[in-house]
Amino acid sequence: MPSNENRPESDLLDPSQIEKVAVAVTKALDPYGAFASLLTAQMAWMMHPQEYLRAVSGLSGDLLALQGHIARRSLGITSEDVIEPNEDDTRFSEPVWNEASWDILKELYLAFTRRWQDMYYETPGLSDKERRRAAFWSRNWLNMMAPTNFFWLNPVAMRRALDTRGESIFRGLRNFSRDFKAKNILMVDPDAFVVGKDLGTTPGKVVFRNRLLEVIHYAPTTEKVRATPLVIITPWINKFYVLDMVPKKSMLKYLVDQGFSVFVTSWKNPTPDMASVRFDDYLTDGVGEVVRMVTEFCKVPKVNLVGYCIGGTLVATYMAWANRHFAPSEMPVNSWTLFTTLTDFARPGDIEVFVDETTVGAMEANMAKKGYLDGNEMASSFRMLRSNSLIWNYWVHSYLLGEDLPPFDVLYWNMDSTRMPYAMHSYYLREMYLKNNLIKRDKLRIAGELIDLNQITQPLYAVTAEDDHIAPWKECYRIRKFINVKAPMRFVLSTSGHILGIVNPPTNPPKRAYWIADPERNEHWEHWFERAEKRQGTWWDNWVEWLGERSGEMVDAYPAANRKFPALADAPGTYVLEK
């Protein structure tokens, strides 16, 4: 017999090997930690039986109340619903859900859902972040299990099938086959719009191009324009034409018509060979080059700079960098504007469930293989933040009701996703989200300069959105704490969300409203909100007035292109068309 001495020191029963296998399996089957977070919460409740019994007793109370409600309904006695859907929950809006038998199913589901969610938010022995993580994944599971998502539990779908003599079922199967081929639950027909023909149609010229971006200068529509040009740094998570939808929704057209010379970035959709592109490169070859190029184009010393979402985070970083890099007299930015932008990432909202050491590590491993993060993967994560409206709504309407996809321009833009370079995105996730280093003085060194937001003294106009689930407005507000006390600041809170709070054109009658006030250095958001003025309509008009005061005199309109910066292509350019 072979001696034990000849056996390898580690074998398959070695605990360390078992742990390694367990970690590998977990990464493969649960890369975002969904199952692990739910299991952790369940174990926490098991260790606190008294709290668990109190929580269960709440559900028992709801069930008893529902029994009384059911008894009264069965006897024909009027009875108010015990559990009402939230105002923004449209799943049960059809009148059939108020009929006795379906009302019972609806209220049982809602009662269980609310108590279950409350339990996860109140899980004893866990940190607030772990509670929110468990509640997020449980909410997504509960949304998936809603009776509206199953044909035989959805009276609207069954009635539609009867009314159409089964046609809705066949159309639903056809829609399912379409989405199966697309490997996605589509929200809009991929051929519903053509960029450059239906969307992104404001006339202009591409006047600059490098490996990262194209710069589009829009043709003037007025004889005179403001002397100081407006430079908009769009997010590279999606494509720029969200600001140039159909003409009546186009912020770019609106600004041009108001007498501004508007330059906009259109970012290249990264390919595998761009895996090593860094955040530093987006600052120097991106916003830095654009600012330089526009000052040369218009022969002016300064621009007014705008940043949207991650483009705003880059603009905030650039502003801190530029205030260190340039002498005060040579600073090339006169004022800056942020749209729904995080600089403090301590509480980034529901998206935090996708940003911890485990999930970032899983994303990095995925990006290392491809050289980028695929846009569809990122889009899927964002859709999970609002799964009822962005996933299951389309499941029901496409598959169970057999309806055609609506030709909605914002949804088309949302599905027109882009990729993120490996090095840049890894840095962004780790330094901003995980370590929250942007708000820490001199913690980051980017393009040779230490980053300190307190160096920024230029006037700031910050716009946020009330229902923003990507950049929560209360976190966006915190930039007032970190920029220099001498920097004048105006803060705006618009109704609606991350996109429609910004793409918010003037309408008659007004569709939306906004709160506006200039916050003090250490003023809490609650105090700001109490004294802020609520106005009906869009904040665009106020922003244009604010910009006008900081844009110099009226001068002859700059041509769309000139001899030094000739037209390379017509707007919307070539990078925006890359898939």
Reported pTM: 0.90
pLDDT at 22: 45
Q: What is the 3-state secondary structure (H, E, C) of 162-216?
A: HHCCCHHHHHHHHHHHHHHHHCCCCCCCCCCCCECCCECCCCEEEEEECCCEEEE
Mean pLDDT by 10 residues, the chain (579 residues): 43 46 58 80 85 80 79 74 82 89 87 87 87 90 95 96 96 96 91 94 98 98 97 96 95 98 98 96 98 98 97 98 96 98 93 86 91 87 88 96 93 92 96 96 96 98 95 96 95 96 94 96 93 97 97 97 97 96
pLDDT tens, position by position, 225-268: 999 999 999 999 999 999 999 999 999 999 999 999 999 999 99
Q: Would residue 298 show up in a list of annotated catalytic residues for this protein?
A: no
Asked if 140 and 350 touch (Cβ cutoff 8 Å), the reply is no
pLDDT at 56: 79
Q: What is the 3-state secondary structure (H, E, C) of 398-451?
A: HHHCCCCCCCCHHHHHHHCCCCEEHHHHHHHHHHHHHCCHHHCCCCCEECCEEC
pLDDT at 180: 94
Q: How far apart are CA 19 and CA 38, in angstroms?
A: 20
1 SS3 class: coil
Catalytic residue among 146, 237, 309, 479: 309
pLDDT at 39: 86
Asked if 120 and 138 touch (Cβ cutoff 8 Å), the reply is yes
Residue 71 CA to its chain's centroid (Å): 45
pLDDT at 26: 58
Q: Bridge-partner residues for 224, per DSSP? A: 556
pLDDT at 542: 97
Backbone angles phi, psi at 275, to 5 degrees: -55, -30
Q: Work out the number of other CB atoms within 10 angstroms of the CB of residue 5.
A: 5
CA–CA distance from 235 to each of 142, 245, 267, 416 (Å)? 32, 16, 8, 13
Q: Bridge-partner residues for 536, per DSSP? A: 513
pLDDT tens, position by position, 297-344: 999 999 999 999 999 999 999 999 999 999 999 999 999 999 999 999
